[in-house]
Structure 1
Amino acid sequence: MKSIFKRKSQLSFVTRQSFATIPQLERSVLEIGPFNNPCVRGENVSYFDVMTTDELRERAKRVGYDPDTIPTINYVANDGDLSVIDAKFSAVISCHCIEHQPDLIRHFNQVERLLEPGGKYYLVIPDKRYCFDHFIDPSSLQAVLESKGHTRHPLLKVIEHRALTTHNEAYRHWAGDHVDSGWKESIAGRALGAIHEYDMARGGYVDVHRWQFTPKSYEEIVLGLNAANEVALKIITLNDTPENDMQFTAVMAFS
């Protein structure tokens, strides 16, 4: 499995901001999970989310965001099931979406079915080294394969997300400053709280990061899924995380 990993200076679409030009280059675009801050806007852009436009606006008000920044949501499924979408697109975009997927294989395959021939999947993905996932190990191909068919996150990932996540300031992580005062001493209490939260959900979905990636580990997982014939989408562009940033970008396609 030959690596296609490239440094950020060699490729385009390096940053989230650069995705804003995609609607000018593509015939039709779908963005998954825009909430109040879509990567792209335009007459040829459609949006999918787990809440309706009105529900997202109410949520934005509750958390102190401007509800007027919420785009009109064209497709809704509260369980994130992309099969409700009855159209195809020349491009699909997601930003900080795939790390939440209980079944990553299903997600990739659902996106593939939404793409026109020659279509591309553009992704913005958090780099676990420079965000609050710093102390959680990178995900493995084995874990992705074992999660096939899952619809919720396991208790372990809820505990990790609640107990082991740290601050989310990228520049501090780049400088080697990974914890706030009292972080280590409060791990046990946060873990107990996570167990209680999981139990109270009574089998329902608890939204946490299921997956942790670096650019290299992401490539290894996708190459493994390709080799196992689980996923047809292939990485055609993979950019390193820009200095003092917390996210990297990738472009996937199928032939």
Structure 2
Amino acid sequence: MTRRDLIMKDISVGQRGIEVGPWFNPLAPKREGYNCLSMDVFDTETLRSRANADPHITAQQLMDIEDVDLVGSSIAIGDLIEARGGSGTFDYIVSSHNFEHLPNPIRFLNGCASALKPGGMLRMAIPDHRICFDYFRPITRLSDWIQSFYTDQHRPSLANVFEGRAVFAHYLDGGRTRYDFFPTTPAETVRCDIQLAEEWDFWASRVRAHGSASGFGEDEYVDAHCSVFTPASFELLVRDCGFLGLTRFAVAEVASQGYEFHASLQPVTDTNDLRPEDYATIRTGLLHRIRNEEAENSGAFQKCRQSLEDTQAELRRLKLLYGVT
């Protein structure tokens, strides 16, 4: 199955859907018959103008940009759908590499839940921070999500921007600097060459210029990854929010797929379903999985794995040499 097939599995062309931020690579394009609204913070004309000015975007990719039906921030998806009278009428919402940019994930999840009909599904592809430039960043905490929700954060904070820039990672492939990580990228090749003092100066100068901790003008938006995850840490965040009554999504599936993971979430009608009696046991299991996932890409783990593979290869050689089956 292709990546697109995996994300769109069990979604049919005739179902009613929303795709968040498809840019020039829509998963459910109207040209193929999908009954899907396209959502973006920019309108169609602006998107195509920005793409036309980008030398890395091909003519074909420019043509693949969908007409935008919903213009606005994705954290306001619930409000935009409600304004169209469409709450509770959509079969699916799909999003690829958008969720990590959201300054207020809880508000987005609640908006999606209100837009979906019973039995609907939110499908997302999300980068695994161990296999991208967020390699050195700590995973996002539940308190980060709650804080952004209660302060109604509507754009990345200076802290989000600083955190992403201060440990921005790349790796050395021979003499070449690369930013497209792989699960097998050797840990010892990963580097962070950012000038920390310059990033601190950016933060401090913005605070001084605007006379407030926000550091941004009223209409200014600086993009950043506001959240970073491993598959288990994402699942824990969603389950915790459901348990606390902050959202009403159940986790249907979270599956690793190379440099990313795919998540399927389904809104529930009875939030008691999100508070199982054995939740402490479920939660402890996820916390252990997070620890194990974070260790998998460490240099120490890679050395142990290589040592084991070498030992197994030597054992196979000796068995062949001495005729042992």
For normalisation by structure 2, the TM-score amounts to 0.67
Contact 2:39–2:74 under 8 Å retained in 1: no
Is 1:162 aligned with 2:165? Answer: yes
Instruction: State the distance in 2 between where 1:238 and 1:109 align.
Output: 19
Residue aligning to 1:120: 121
In structure 1, the residue matched to 2:237 is 221
Aligned residues of 1:102 and 1:152 also touching (Cα < 8 A): yes
C-alpha distance in 2, partners of 1:54/1:23? 29
Code of the residue aligned with 2:44 in structure 1: it is: T
CA contact (8 A) 1:50 1:76 kept: yes
Q: What SS does the corresponding residue of 2:164 show, helix, strand or coil?
A: helix
Shift in CA distance, 164/113, structure 1 to aligned 2, threshold 3 Å: same
Post-superposition shift, 1:28? 1.2
Give the Å deviation of 1:113.
Answer: 0.9
CA distance in 1, matches of 2:253, 2:183: 28
Determine if contact 2:40/2:74 at 8 Å carries over to the other structure.
no
Structure with the larger RCO, 1 or 2 (CA within 8 Å, 6+ apart):
1
| Aligned position for 2:314 | none
Distance across 1 between alignment mates of 2:252 and 2:14: 17
Give the counterpart letter for 1:112 in structure 2.
Answer: A
RMSD: 2.4
Q: What SS does the aligned partner of 1:251 have?
A: strand
Paired amino acid for 1:74:
D
Structure 2 match to 1:76: 71
Question: Which aligned segments of 4 or more residues in structure 1 are displaced greater than 6 angstroms?
Answer: none
Identify the match of residue 259 of structure 2 among 228, 246, 251. Answer: 246
SS in 1 for 2:119: strand
Structure 1 partner of 2:156: 153
Residue identity matched to 1:30: I
Among candidates 36, 41, 58, match of residue 50 of structure 1: 41
Q: Alpha carbons of 1:219 and 1:35: their partners in 2 closer, same or farther (altered >3 Å)?
A: same
SS of corresponding position for 2:261:
strand
Q: Give the direction of change, closer, same or farther, for the CA distance of 1:239–1:228 in structure 2 (3 Å limit).
A: same
Shift of 1:52: 0.9
Q: Is the 8 A contact 2:92 2:123 kept in 1?
A: yes
Does the CA contact (< 8 Å) of 2:142 and 2:237 recur in 1? yes
Distance 1:96 1:196, change over 3 A: farther
Unaligned stretches of 5+ residues in structure 2:
171-178, 210-214, 269-325
Higher helix share: 2
Is the counterpart of residue 28 in structure 1 residue 43 in structure 2? no
State the structure with more CA Rg: 2
Q: Report what 1:186 is aligned to.
A: 195
Q: Judge conservation of contact 1:226–1:232 (CA < 8 Å) in 2.
A: yes
Q: Aligned to 1:220, what secondary structure does the other structure show? A: helix
Q: Give the counterpart letter for 1:238 in structure 2.
A: V
CA deviation profile, 1:144-172 (whole Å, cap 9, x unmatched):
11111211222211111222212331227
Is 1:39 the counterpart of 2:27? The answer is yes
Moved more, 219-228 or 73-82: 73-82
Closer, same or farther: CA 171–73 of 1 in aligned 2, 3 Å? same
Which of 46, 50, 53 is equivalent to 1:62?
A: 53
Deviation at 1:25, TM superposition (A): 6.4
Mapped partners of 2:73, 2:136: distance in 1: 30
Please, what TM-score do these two structures have when normalized by structure 1?
A: 0.84
Percent identity reads 26
Q: How many residue pairs are counted as aligned between the two chains?
A: 238
List per-residue Cα deviations over 1:125-157 (Å, max 9, x = no partner). 111110111111000111111111211222211
Is the CA contact (8 Å cut-off) linking 2:74 and 2:108 kept in structure 1?
A: no
Structure 1 unaligned blocks of 5 or more: 1-12
